[in-house]
Structures are given as C-alpha cells and as structure tokens.
Amino acid sequence: MTLARIYRALLLAGFQQAAQYRIQSLLWMLFAIIRPVIFLAAWIAVAVAQGGDIGGFKVGDFAAYYVCMTFVSQLTMAWNSHEFEWEVNQGRLSAKLLRPLHPLHYSVVENLVFKLNTLPVLGVVLILVSISFGAIYRTQVWHIIAFIPSVILAAALLFMFNWVIATLAFWATRMRTANTLFQRTLFIFAGQIAPIGLMPGWLQAVSYALPFWYMMGAPTEILRGGVTQEQVAQILIGQSVWLAITFVAFQWIWRRGVRAYSAVGA
C-alpha cells in the first residue's frame, strides 16, 4: 500500500520535472523514428527488387512491422546503464543507497514518465508513417489482448537486463564498451535489422534462444498480427523465463556490487 503511495508521489514529481523538457522529448522522437524508417526503406527496396514479396512480407507488411517496432522500442526502452556509470563514478549513488527505497524504483518512475510523456506525439507520427507507407496490419482482437502482457514483459525484461549491465559499473569504471556491445547485440538479434522470419536460419535459431528478440521483436510480431496463437504462447513463456532469470541475476549481482562499491573518493 505504501509503495503505491510512494509511486504516486514520485510519478507526480516526475511529470512536473519532465514538463521542463518538452522539446527534448520531441527530439528523442526523431531518434526513435529515423532508424526504423531507414531499414523500412531498405526492405522496401529489396521487396520491390524481388517482385513485391519476400518470405510472405509485402511492402505493407514491412511498413506495419517497422511501425510496430518503433512503437514497441519506445515502450520497452531502458537507459539506466548510461546514467548509472556516472552515478557510481561521481559517488552520487551513495545518497540514493541511504534512502529506504531501492534505487531501482526511481528509475522505474523515470522510465514510466518518459514513455507516457512521449507516447501521444509518437502515436500521431506513427499513424502518419503508416498511411504514407501503406502499412497492412493483420492484427486481430486476440493479438491486441496478447500484446499487452507481452509488451509489459518485454519492457520489464529489457529494464532488468539493462540494470544487470548497469551494475557492472561497480567493478568497471568505463561502461561505454559494455553499452555498445549491448546496443549492437540488440541491433542484430532484437529484430531491428529484419523481422526474425527473414533472418538466415542459424541466426533465427540463435535469436529464439537468446533474450534479445523477446525485448522488442516478439511484441512487434504480435502487434502486427504476424504470429499464431501457439506462437504467442511460446513467446509469453520465453519472455517469462528470461525475465525470471534476469531478475535473479540482478539480485545476485547487485548484492555483490553494493559490497564492492566504495564511492569513488570516499
């Protein structure tokens, strides 16, 4: 009960803070939209070269895929690993550790505020992209119902995974390399460069086994209506399993990390 009250207060403060940076959040939108549009354009060129259809994907399917991908990545993105290094290096984490609330909660709130704030504008932009590229959605009602838990699981999974990486900052002082590695892994395996069905066979198998596709690609496929009910069940199970593993890993690594942490200079 008290946690709910704390969250309400933090969210309120978060929204008030975010009101100062409206232009900034519009700019981040540009980042969110450019990469999917780039790959959409490339796949359209491929589809056109192949007579309009590759592996069941027509131009409209690609458009739907990348519109959904943009929407999902906006909803699931997490960025703590970028900030956490700074907090550790500056010793700023010390103050947060003294508070009765786990630092995780502050970053959950920050995450929620950003997403809720940017969603309306992104929605409009995505509708425009959908229309201009002639997106075809194969979505049915049950797809949308399944999408909700799937995108929440994906966001939680990406968030926790990002925290595991962030926690490495307790030992390493330069986290940029770890972040780059994570970003590029997502780039390949999460479905940004291609829908999983169009990946070469071995890469597909690896993607299904690793957690990264479940962070973005899986909810994207559900939202655009590209999966059967059986596949949806598999996706939800895969997401839950990976979330559980990541959560346990986080708790383990966090406990050891806090012990290793001695605020730089303290």
Q: How far is the CB of 144 from another protein (least distance, A)?
A: 28
Q: How far is the CB of 214 from another protein (least distance, A)?
A: 19
258, 170 contact by CB (below 8 A): yes
Q: How far is the CB of 60 from another protein (least distance, A)?
A: 15
186, 212 contact by CB (below 8 A): yes
The values of phi and psi at residue 58, to 5°, are -100, 175
Nearer to another protein (CB atom), residue 140 or residue 183: 183
Q: What is the DSSP string of 161-213?
A: HHHHHHHGGGT-S--HHHHHHHHHHHHHHSSSSS-GGGS-HHHHHHHHHSSGG
Q: How far is the CB of 183 from another protein (least distance, A)?
A: 9
The values of phi and psi at residue 158, to 5°, are -65, -40
Angle separating helix axes 80-89 and 176-189, nearest 10 degrees: 170
Nearer to another protein (CB atom), residue 21 or residue 142: 21
Nearer to another protein (CB atom), residue 133 or residue 161: 133
79, 32 contact by CB (below 8 A): no
* Biggest alpha carbon–alpha carbon distance for the chain: 65
Q: How far is the CB of 128 from another protein (least distance, A)?
A: 11
Q: How far is the CB of 165 from another protein (least distance, A)?
A: 14
Binding stretches for another protein (CB under 8 A): 23-24, 27, 30-31, 34-35, 37-39, 41-43, 45-46, 48-50, 54-55, 132-133, 174, 176-177, 180-181, 184, 187-188, 193-194, 198-200, 203
Nearer to another protein (CB atom), residue 71 or residue 133: 133
Cα(61)–Cα(32) distance, integer angstroms: 20
Residue 10 sits at the vertex; the CA angle it makes with 9 and 15, to the nearest 5 degrees, is 100
Nearer to another protein (CB atom), residue 188 or residue 236: 188
Nearer to another protein (CB atom), residue 51 or residue 265: 51
